[in-house]
Amino acid sequence: MSGQATLRLQKELKAIMKDPVPNITARPSPSSILDWHYVLTGAEGSDYEGGYYHGKIVFPQQYPFKPPSISMITPSGRFQINTRLCLSMSDYHPETWNPMWSVSTILAGLLSFMYDDVATTGSITSTRAEKRRLAQESKATNLKNKVFCKVFPELAADLQQKVEQAQREQAEHDRLAVLEKRKKDSVSEQKTEGSKAKQRRSSLASVLLTLTGLATMGLLLAVMAVPILTLES
């Protein structure tokens, strides 16, 4: 392993720990300082809001004079997973690489590119709804990744709490939805029963009216028949 690459990356790690970049977390793998893992947090108001996107940067032994490879592990709707990304600061374009760039510079550029819709090797297209769905699923997705949990234990614990809280909120939402449906069904049944009762009363009234009409007609006929009987007698 290159001593220069090691010294440079150790220096960058100290810089990141001292002055973290907003929405970016990064640290090397416990087994090799050339293998870094990062997490990009989706900005509020974006299609990636609430998302946590885990990825990997593999630095060459010739770093900082040669660029690293960059890939994303968590599905985002923007990049293919576990695929080298073609970026100006990746090993796809060594001719555009600047040795002054750092881990922070690379990830800030990646995050900015993520919000754009420019196509490149390793990018994909998806709907805004798909990106938002994946953002919400990213927490549970990352927790299933043993490497993520090992490299970012405190973040994994925080995501676990968020997932459990979301599950409790969803359970409460579902409970209230069931109660609301039962209430609506009860009101609907009451209206149906009320309508049936009204129909029964209307039918009964019609029958009574018919019977009353018949009885009245019979009475009139009986009255009219009295003079006739009188005359005949």
Which residues are known to be catalytic?
A: 86
Q: At what angle do helices 153-232 and 128-143 cross, to 10 degrees?
A: 120
Q: Phi and psi for 28 in degrees, rounded to 5?
A: -75, 160
Cα separation, 129 vs 120, in Å, equals 21
Strands 52-58 and 69-72 turn out to be antiparallel
**Of 164, 144, 177, 140, nearest in space to 51 by CA:** 140
**Residues sharing a CB contact under 8 Å with residue 121, sequence separation 6 or more, in sequence order:** 84, 85, 86, 92
Cα separation, 27 vs 57, in Å, equals 10
Q: Rounded to a whole number, what is the distance in angstroms from the first to the last CA of the chain?
A: 140
Strands 24-29 and 69-72 turn out to be unpaired
Cα separation, 96 vs 90, in Å, equals 9
